[in-house]
Amino acid sequence: MKLYFRRIRPKLLNEIIMSINEKHQTRSAPGFSYVTILGALRHSNLWIKTYVYCCYVGTIFWLVLPIVYRDRSLPLACWYPFDYTQPIVYELIFFLQAMGQIQVAASFASSSGFHMVLSILMSGQYDVLFCSLKNVLATSYLKMGATMAELSNLMEAQSVADAEVNQFSYCQEVCTPLKKLRDQQETSHIRDFPGAFRHSFRRCLEQHQYIIRTLYAMENFYNPIWIFKIGEVTFLMCLVAFVSTKSTTANSFMRMVSLGQYLLLVAYELFIICYFAELIYQNSQRCGEALWRSPWHLHMRQVRSEYLFFLMNSRRQFRLTAGKIYNLDVDRFRGTITTAFSFLTLLQKMDSRG
């Protein structure tokens, strides 16, 4: 995984990181309400910490078992052309396997963890875009220097959309008092509504283009990894489940707990890949809904062409894929688990026949 990140695709990886650092919006446009990316950052920190802890706890559990049993066994049962139970030799082999297991945990955490953080950050950008689209007319009014009465009428018309729940994935919407909004109004040379609207709407279009470009870069970077990962997860889930059913040693209970923990970790990684890809797909469908939340009917003739242009372009849904073959979503998660246990049933039947 480190080879892929740092040697095979380092240029694309750096482009993604630089694009986020330079163009990431931290706050929605001025309006009757706003959101910031703090909610997305808080959720990304929570998810990545939980995932990294799970990866390393699972690894440490495998390493602790031989120490607890004191049977001079190894974390991973391997054949060596010498007696590895001899003093010093056993400690050296144990240390090398421990380093290998820690590298496996780091590989789990780096590949899927980075994908998870990027997906949450992009979902936060969608939230910022949704709020900007919802308040695009209010932003235009502020740009053209509208009076308090005009802002009050527009706010009353837009308040109908506030009754809708679950408008944002991670960010928390905060209302701005009308008087405070009026005080924050910036001086502008634009005094007509069409000019102010085009200026405000252009910012929304630029942010939407930035999100789509970043998602396409994520797709190009990750789709070779995910086609390999789905095959790996299918194989590992089948193999670990088969080994756990064949475990008959005296220490079988703890071994089965360890294998079960590893099985859950593999399933958790697949869930992260599929769930956050599904979240990106759902957000890509909701741009038009966010635009309809604005009181567009008040200026239908002036905004009709821009609205139709955006709605037509936002209908193109974005999907993350595995090797451009499978769509990554919750159905893929369920299908992969079903495939793995179908292979498990086949292995058990072959084993029963001797």
Question: How open is the CA angle 313-318-323, to the nearest 5 degrees?
Answer: 140
Question: So what's the pLDDT on residue 63?
Answer: 81
User: Do strands 321-322 and 174-175 pair parallel, antiparallel, or not at all (unpaired)?
Assistant: unpaired
Distance of alpha carbon 305 from alpha carbon 310, whole angstroms = 9
Question: 């095959």: which residue's tokens?
Answer: 231
Would you give the end-to-end CA distance of the chain in angstroms?
Answer: 38
What's the DSSP call for residue 64?
Answer: H
Cα(87)–Cα(99) distance, rounded to whole angstroms? 19
The 10s digit of each residue's pLDDT in 290-316 is: 888 888 888 888 888 989 988 888 877
CA dist list (Å): 321 to 38, 113, 178, 218, 315: 28, 17, 45, 10, 18
Question: Residue 203 burial by CB count (10 A; 0-12/13-18/19+): exposed, middle or buried?
Answer: middle
Contact 237, 137 (CB under 8 A): no
- R_g of the chain, CA atoms, integer Å: 27
Per-residue pLDDT band for 143 (boundaries 50, 70, 90) equals confident
3-state secondary structure of 275: helix
So what's the pLDDT on residue 117?
93
Between CA 132 and CA 205 the distance in angstroms is 10
Helix, strand and coil in the chain, % to nearest 5 = 75, 5, 25
Least confident among 11-20, 77-86, 271-280, 336-345: 77-86
- Read off the tokens for 102: 């820690």
What's the pLDDT tens digit per position in 312-352?
Answer: 888 778 899 998 888 999 999 999 888 888 888 888 888 77
In this prediction, residue 251 carries a pLDDT of: 52
List residues bridging with 175 in a β-sheet: 33
Nearest to 208 by CA among 279, 121, 132: 132
CB neighbours of residue 159 within 10 Å: 12
What letter represents residue 174's amino acid? V
DSSP 325: T
pLDDT score at 212 = 93
Which stretch of DSSP H or E encloses residue 174? strand 174-175
Q: What is the pTM of this model?
A: 0.88
Using alpha carbons, select from 5, 20, 195 the residue that is nearest to residue 112.
Answer: 5
Q: Identify whether the C-beta of residue 44 lies closer than 8 Å to the C-beta of residue 120.
A: yes
**Residue 176 corresponds to which tokens in the numbers above?**
């701005």
Distances from the Cα of 192 to the Cαs of 3, 92, 217, in angstroms? 56, 77, 38
Q: What is the rounded distance in angstroms from the CA atom of residue 343 to the CA atom of residue 339?
A: 6
Under 8 Å between Cβ of 321 and 310: no
Buried (b) or exposed (e) across 327-340, using 16+ Cβ within 10 A? ebbeebbeebbeeb
What confidence score (pLDDT) does residue 161 get? 74
Q: For strands 33-34 and 174-175, give the pairing.
A: antiparallel
Give dist(CA 324, CA 338) in Å, integer. 21
What is the per-residue pLDDT across 240-296, written as a single tens digit (0 to 9) for each?
A: 777 777 655 545 666 677 777 778 888 888 899 999 999 999 999 888 888 888 888
